[in-house]
Structures are given as C-alpha cells and as structure tokens.
C-alpha cells in the first residue's frame, strides 16, 4: 500500500486482528477524524446537500471516500461532492429518512479500506461520538501528577487536542484527591473559548471511548489562566499545548461549522 492513507492502515489493522476491540475502535476513531468526500446527486444549495443513496439488499448507503482521486476513480466522471469530517457525515446520516439511519459505504471498489458500514453501526458511532465525560464538581483537596492511566489514552488525548486549533490555550492532565475521600483524574483546559467547551468535552469523551477506557476514569474542567486552579494544574500536571490559528477562519462550506451541520434535502 504505497499510497496508503491513515484510514487504510487502521482498516488493515482491524482486519488483521478481528478479535481485538481496540483495533476496531481505532478504525472508527480514524473514520470520525478523517476528512471524507461525500458523493452527492447535485451541487450543495446553501447548507443543504443531497447525498447519492444506493439501495442494496443490506439497506440504504451513502458513499464517502477519504481522497478526492478515489471518489473520481469510483465515479468515472465529474460528480458533485461535499468535503466533511467523518463525525459530521455520521451526524447527518443518523436518524435520516423517516427516522431511519442510513448506512455508509467507504472507499468502495477503489481502496483496500473498502467497507460497508451498516445503519446500526452508524447509529452506534453517532451515539458514541455524543458521549462526554463529567465536568468535575466535587471539592478538590490535592492535585498530583497523573498515575495509572494507559499510554494509549495519553496518545489519544494528544492526537485529539492537536486538532483543536484555537479552542483553548492549553490543557493539563492531573490526578485528584477529593475532600472526604475518593480519587480520580482531571483534564483541565485553560482559557478555553466558552462556545468550544462542549466540543472539547466531546473530544475527551471520544479519546476515552476509542481507547477502551471507562468514561468515569477522567473528568474535565475549564479554568481561566488567572484562576489559582490553573497555576496548581501547571505545577503538577502533564501539559498539552493546543495549536493556535495563524489567522481567524470563517466556515464557508457545508459541514465546516460543527455546530451547524449541513441538512439533507
């Protein structure tokens, strides 16, 4: 696979270890994180798009490809399409068409990662992507360095936060001891944009789920850099620096605004 994409690699790993739940979860995580090219019946009209749907004995499917040239190879002609993140595609397809979820065909006939994802798996992925960890509300007695969390989770958090451009300045992973007993871990965001807090919490939830870690293993919190808590996090925590945009960007195409996904016609 000389031109293999990250989706190809994660799909191959899943096929090589069919009993490995972690490999399966990593494939679905990569699918959600990838930019996908959704085949349409016509050009988008504002924020409304019309996916090309294919009826099969196994149900109705929309088609996506993880490269433009793969879509072109499949279609064999110039066709309209929309470039969307995998999570936006899943959000669109869940519960569409008289309440029925639409299945997803990925890279069909043009790549080693070709796969038909049935409607029930799309619905599961939609539910999974909507899970968020709890925001810490107990009284904290002590903050320590994080201990005992799997390296897979640390890597997943690092990967997720590397895509959260401009949503916060930084984040710190720490261990917590609560007043009155109890322990846990916290990922504390510093100077997160208020409108982005829900998206950041969901990103943390995805990192937990796709790492095979229980959601209760990690809480989230949001703090201003002027807060005393921010200084305590910096003293003890494992720091993640979130990338900052070179210039403000404005969503201009369907699916570019995660709070306003495109509508299906």
Domain 140-241: top CATH class: alpha beta
173-182 pLDDT per residue, tens: 999 988 777 8
Predicted structure pTM score: 0.68
Higher pLDDT, 216 or 223: 223
The predicted structure's pLDDT at residue 98: 52
Residues 6+ apart with CB under 8 A from 9: 1
258 band by pLDDT with thresholds 50, 70 and 90: low
- pLDDT over 80 (residue 68): yes
% pLDDT > 70, the chain = 88
Q: How far apart are CA 192 and CA 168, in angstroms?
A: 4
CB count, 10 Å around CB of 72? 16
Cβ atoms 265, 95 nearer than 8 A? no
Surface-to-core class of residue 44, CB atoms within 10 Å of its CB (0-12 exposed, 13-18 middle, 19+ buried) = middle
- pLDDT over 60 (residue 259): no
The predicted structure's pLDDT at residue 111: 95
Tell me the average pLDDT across 241-245. 91
Higher pLDDT, 223 or 138: 223
Residue 173 DSSP one-character state: E
% pLDDT > 90, the chain = 53
Beta bridge partners of 99: none
Q: How far apart are CA 104 and CA 79, in angstroms?
A: 18
Higher pLDDT, 210 or 246: 210
Q: Indicate where the chain has its CATH 3.30.70 domain(s).
A: 140-241
The predicted structure's pLDDT at residue 251: 53
- pLDDT over 90 (residue 1): no
Higher pLDDT, 194 or 265: 194
Q: Tokens in use for 167?
A: 């949503």
């Amino acid at each position: 696979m000389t031109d293999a994409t990250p989706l190809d690699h994660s799909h191959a790993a899943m096929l090589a270890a069919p009993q490995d739940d972690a490999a399966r979860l990593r494939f679905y995580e990569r699918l959600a994180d990838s930019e996908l090219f959704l085949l349409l019946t016509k050009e988008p009209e504002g924020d409304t798009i019309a996916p090309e749907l294919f009826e099969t004995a196994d149900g109705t499917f929309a088609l996506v490809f993880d490269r433009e040239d793969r879509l072109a190879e499949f279609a064999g002609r110039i066709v309209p399409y929309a470039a969307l993140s995998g999570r936006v595609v899943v959000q669109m397809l869940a519960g569409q068409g008289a309440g029925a979820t639409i299945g997803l065909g990925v890279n069909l006939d043009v790549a080693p990662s070709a796969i038909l994802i049935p409607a029930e798996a799309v619905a599961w992925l939609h539910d999974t992507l909507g899970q968020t960890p709890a925001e810490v509300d107990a009284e904290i007695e002590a903050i320590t360095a994080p201990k005992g969390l799997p390296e897979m989770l640390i890597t997943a958090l690092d990967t997720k936060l590397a895509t959260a451009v401009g949503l916060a300045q930084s984040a710190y992973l720490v261990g917590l001891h609560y007043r009155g007993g109890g322990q846990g871990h916290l990922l504390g965001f510093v100077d997160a944009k208020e409108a982005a807090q829900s998206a950041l919490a969901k990103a943390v939830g995805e990192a937990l789920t796709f790492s095979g870690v229980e959601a209760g293993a990690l809480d989230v919190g949001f703090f201003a850099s002027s807060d005393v808590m921010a200084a305590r996090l910096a003293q003890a925590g494992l720091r993640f620096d979130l990338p900052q945009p070179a210039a403000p960007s404005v969503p201009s195409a369907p699916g570019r605004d995660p709070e306003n996904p495109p509508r299906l016609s």
